[in-house]
Amino acid sequence: MTEPTMRAIRQVVLGGPEVLHEVEIPKPELGVSQILVRVHAAGLNPTDWSHRAFPIFLGPPPFTLGWDVSGVVEATGFGVTLFKPGDEVFGMLPYPHGVGSHAEYVAAPTRAFASKPENVDHVQAAALPLAALTAWQALNDTARLQAGQRVLIHAAAGGVGHLAVQIAKARGAYVIGTASARHHDLVRGLGADELIDYNTTDFATAVRDADMVLETVGGDYPMRSLRTLRPGGLLVALLPFPPEVREEANKAGVSAQVMLVEHDHGGMTAIADLVTAGKLSPVIAGIFPLADAAKAHELGETRHVAGKLVLTMV
């Protein structure tokens, strides 16, 4: 009997977008506590282009990239009670080793998913998981952001940033964002109270008394961001920073932490609730058919996309 197969974007070497190819590979097998999901749409994130080019967490290829999924449950494994075949779900595959959503099917732990909100389609739902979970885990779990607090969100037009702005506003915070001027209207429309054009204004002198900074840019941003915090404030960085940043934070009486997103049923459920309540909505910057994954990578790698890029399984 021939094995069932599916279309997937594979690479056998690390490199530029040209290493990505659509191929037929075996459909994943369902494990215990897992659901098999027919993928309708799959988001892209900077970690996709990073892992395509560099041996970060995944080791050598061959592999299929992609952590974001929105789709329909096709089958459930032993012990699964949360979902049944036919349910619409969205989620982030376990980061990093659960990777593989840029394909027609994924089999993954049930609790990586939540029910897809009915007021968004699969493309919108697929844009959310990794970026929204990152924002949620940074603002809610790590910083415990409270109403009335001041938060500085870097790259506020980016995949994480534009969702973090909305989550912070939903929590009643005062939001200051950095973005180039051409994206200010968009981010203001998402609720940001103040925007700084990082091309013309030094945020480190323009912002004072922040309770929290969400740092998404790297380079000298973590060190410069420390100056914007009130005593006791917290920098949450999404990229590693050098040891001097923590030393400087200690001297300044503030904290600095690096955070890595984790798959999270509770977080996905909170995100779904915000979407259902109309408080969180992704900006879709581009939709690409699966076969054009390389084009989506090229666009994303410019680092100047506002919102999210998504693949569909057509």
Ligand X SMILES: NC(=O)c1ccc[n+]([C@@H]2O[C@H](COP(=O)([O-])OP(=O)(O)OC[C@H]3O[C@@H](n4cnc5c(N)ncnc54)[C@H](OP(=O)(O)O)[C@@H]3O)[C@@H](O)[C@H]2O)c1
| Residue 167 binds ligand X (CB under 6 A) | no
User: Going by DSSP bridges, is the β-strand pair 194-196/174-178 parallel, antiparallel, or unpaired?
Assistant: parallel
Q: What length does the chain have?
A: 314
Backbone phi and psi for residue 108, each to the nearest 5 degrees, phi listed first: -155, 160
- Asked whether the beta carbons of 275 and 150 are under 8 A apart, the reply is no
| Residue 179 binds ligand X (CB under 6 A) | yes
Give the shortest CB-245-to-ligand X separation in angstroms.
Answer: 15
Among residues 113, 136, 198, 288, the one that binds ligand X under rule CB under 6 A: 198
Both structure tokens of 279: 């408080």
Residues 124-143 that bind ligand X (CB under 6 A): 131, 134
Nearer residue to ligand X within complex by CB, 88 or 264: 264
| Residue 304 binds ligand X (CB under 6 A) | yes
Site size toward ligand X, by CB under 6 A:
29
Straight-line distance from the first to the last Cα atom of the chain, in angstroms, rounded to the nearest whole number: 27
| Residue 190 binds ligand X (CB under 6 A) | no
Task: Please identify, among the stretches 68-76, 166-174, 245-253, 297-305, the one whose residues bind ligand X according to the rule CB under 6 A.
Answer: 297-305
Cα separation, 305 vs 299, in Å, equals: 7
Beta strand residue intervals within the chain, DSSP E: 5-11, 21-26, 34-43, 63-64, 68-76, 88-92, 105-109, 113-115, 150-153, 174-178, 194-196, 210-215, 229-237, 255-258, 284-289, 308-312
Q: How many CB atoms lie within 10 A of CB 302?
A: 7
Residues 35-54 that bind ligand X (CB under 6 A): 45-47
Among residues 92, 114, 238, 313, the one that binds ligand X under rule CB under 6 A: 238
Task: Please identify, among the stretches 31-39, 86-94, 172-180, 263-271, the one whose residues bind ligand X according to the rule CB under 6 A.
Answer: 172-180
Binding residues for ligand X, rule: CB under 6 A, are 45-47, 131, 134, 154-155, 157-161, 178-180, 183, 198, 216-217, 238-239, 259-261, 300, 303-306
